[in-house]
Structure formats: structure tokens, C-alpha cells
Amino acid sequence: MKHVCMVAYTNYRFDGRVRREAEAVATLPGYSVTVLTYKENKKPASFEMEGVLVRELDIPKYRGKNQARYILSYVGFTFLAFLECTKRFARKSLDVLHVHNMPNFVVFAGLIPWLAGKPIILDVHDTMVETYAAKFAGCSGKILQWVLRLEESICCRMARHILCVNDIQKEAMVRRNIPEGKIVVVMNVPDPKVFDPTIPIHARPKEVGKFRMIFHGTVTKRVGMDLVVRAISRLNGGIPGMEFHVVGDGDDMADCRELSRSLGVDSKVHIRGKVPVEGLAPILRNMDLGIIPNRRNTATELMLPVKMLECIALGIPVVAPRLRTICHYFTEDMVFFFEPEDVDSMGEAIQAASRSEDVRRSRATEARRFLDKHGWEHHKKGLTEMYQTL
């Protein structure tokens, strides 16, 4: 039996990528998978889902905007994961360590097993160099960039394999001299068990007299939530039955509520909390349009948002910004594009989408072709084949 230990600073129930990969590896003959995460309640819990054992470490997620406290929370999590991984190695129940970033330095949780020759897989959801460049500028930003590049370089040297989420992200890492031969692209695409791309687009339920739009994910200004609310304010009255649904949570949820109130569109903006992966599909199927409002920065240029792909899998047309990675995979006949951070352009794209159900259906159909080439079964095969070579 090969024992795989995945480490992720995340809520397992809500993290589709971590769950998909853990479940895929757990189906391999002779493999067991344990995932270490932070705790959701006062006491850490252990539970099993779809053949994967999940063990919460005795540290909660930091919720706030203080960067120093975020880093301390990451360090504390890494230390507890180090203790647990070392115990598992001593008991001969750790053969492979699979670390999901952020941050990259969680790989040090497996320092002792690594020194003994056990392989580490570094799974890069978001590159820290670009993500933090989007938050900092000036002299301190340049110093931070140097530190982050060094951190990335050291962690990638420790890794036997590096997983990244798309080809553009891979190019950025290779430009920083990360060995291309180590990198495997495993895209963050929807799980077809949950987001079934075979359901006919015309079969989606629709409420007459309503035009429902949705954003689901982390609610922050960084991903442009305020831009959507402003666009809705300018469209108010221009689209009959317009509703904007927000499913998720984040540090700027309160600001989103306040902005919708101040602009007089709080009756149009419906905010609910985060839901598990399985609960998303029934909500999304009732929507007419998905909104991807990302601002333009070094991080978002490398992103292909999974929330966009989840809408596409269910046949829901999408309004999205002209950012590098999105434009690499999608064309004008597949999504409704707008210029990033341009509220008027976003509003025009939403208005164009609202005018014709036939056009929405046509673009949704074309966008689904992306999954013919890049669906989860293709990337699952690449992931499991990589494991079998370890």
C-alpha cells in the first residue's frame, strides 16, 4: 500500500480541485489518501469522503486583511503539518507528500520524509509571485518579489513534480527558470460527476420574466465584485427582471452589501453564503448568465477561473474580461467579453447577453467545446499516470 498525504490550507468540502485530485488518486489500486487541512470548528475533526480520509489540524483559517497575521497562520499550519507528516513517516505511513499551495513553503511540512528520499508533489493553484505582486508595489514590493521568487525556487527544487493549472501559468514559471520537465499541467476544470456537461442546454429550468445572473466564489474587490454592483446600478431598469446572485464568502462581503445599498440596488443583489461543491450545480442551473468580473493584474492574467468553467459545463453563458489566459482558451463566439475594470463595457456585455436567448445558447454551446479537449477525464489521466511513475 502506498500512503499519500495531501496538505492544503483549505476547507476540503468546498475545494473542488483538492477533492477531485484526492479522489482520483484514492481510486488507484494500492493507494490510500489522507488530506490535512485547517479546522472549521472549535475542535479539529476527522472524517471520510469518497474514500479519502480528511484530518483537520488544530488551527483555524485566519479571516481578515492583516497580511502579517495571514503569514503567521500559514507558518502555524505548516508547523503542525510538519509534526503530523513526521509522525506518519516514522510510522511508515507516508510514501508521497502532495502539497497544495498557497503558500508554496508548506512543502517544508515534508522536510524529514524528503530528506529520506520520499517524493514531494507541489500543486500550484496560484503563483505567489504574481498574486502578491498584485497587492504590493514600490520598494517594499520589489523586496517582497525577490523573497517570493526565492521561496518559489527553493520549493520547486524540493518537488519531484510540479502541477500547475494552465499553459500560461506554466510559461510564467518556466521564464523564472523552474525546470519545464518537472511541470505537469492539470487544469482546474469541473468534476463531471457534479457539473454534468452532457445535460442539454435547453433542458435548464428558466423562470419566465426573470434574468438571473450569478457570481460564485471568493468575494473581494480584487476579483472585481464592486465593478459588478456598479454595472448593475447603471443597468437598473434596463433589463426586466434582472437579479444578481452572489454565492460565496470573503473579506469584502460586507463592503459588497453596503455598496449595493448605497447605489440603491440591494433589492437586485441577492447574497447567500458559501455552499459545498455538490450544492452549486442546482443553484447554477437556474441562472441565465455567469459573471466573471476579475480586475486586470499580474495574478488574474494567469487565471482561468474554475467558476467560469463550472458555468460553461452546465451550459450557462458567461460574461468575462479580456485577460490573457481567458483569451488564450476562449474566443468571441464562446463568451461575452468586456474590457477589464471598465464598468460601462461590462454593462454593455451584460446588456448584449440579455437581448437574445438564442445568442446566449449559441455561445454556451461553443464554449462547451472547451471541455471536449480539456475536460477532467483528460487531466485525471495525466495526474494518475504521473503518480504511477513515482
Q: Are 304 and 329 in contact (CB under 8 A)?
A: yes
Is 203 a residue whose pLDDT tops 80? no
Q: How many CB atoms lie within 10 A of CB 129?
A: 22
pLDDT at position 63, please?
75
Distances (CA, A) of 140 to 135, 173, 316: 11, 22, 42
Q: Which CATH code for domain 201-374?
A: 3.40.50.2000
Q: What is the pLDDT of residues 102-120, one digit of tens each?
A: 899 999 999 999 999 999 9
Residue 80 banded pLDDT, cuts 50, 70, 90: very high
* Beta-bridge partners for 272: 247
Mean pLDDT of 8-18: 94
Sheet-wide strand order for 242-249:
269-272, 242-249, 211-218, 289-291, 318-321, 336-338
Joined grid coordinates for residue 240: 426586466
pTM confidence score: 0.89
Spell 325-357 as b/e; 16+ CB within 10 A means b: bbbebbeeebbbbbebebbebbbbbbeebbeee
pLDDT at position 136, please?
63
**Among candidates 263, 227, 221, which has minimal Cα distance to 342?**
227
In this structure, which topology does domain 2-189+375-388 adopt according to CATH? Rossmann fold (3.40.50)
Q: What is the pLDDT of residues 39-72, one digit of tens each?
A: 999 999 999 999 999 999 999 988 776 777 888 9
Is 267 a residue whose pLDDT tops 60? yes
- Could you give the percent of the chain with pLDDT greater than 90? 71
Q: What is the pLDDT of residues 317-344, one digit of tens each?
A: 999 999 999 999 999 999 999 999 999 9
Q: Where are the domains of the chain?
A: 2-189+375-388, 201-374
Please give the helix or strand (H or E) that residue 152 lies within, else none. Answer: helix 138-158
Is residue 243 helix, strand or coil? strand
In this chain, the answer to whether the domains covering 2-189+375-388 and 201-374 adopt an identical fold is: yes
Contacts of residue 5, Cβ cutoff 8 Å, sequence gap at least 6: 33, 34, 35, 36, 85, 88, 94, 96, 97, 98, 110
Q: Are 14 and 7 in contact (CB under 8 A)?
A: no
Is 350 a residue whose pLDDT tops 60? yes
**Taking the chain, what is the end-to-end CA distance rounded to the nearest angstrom?**
14
pLDDT at position 238, please?
83
Q: What is the mean pLDDT of the chain?
A: 91
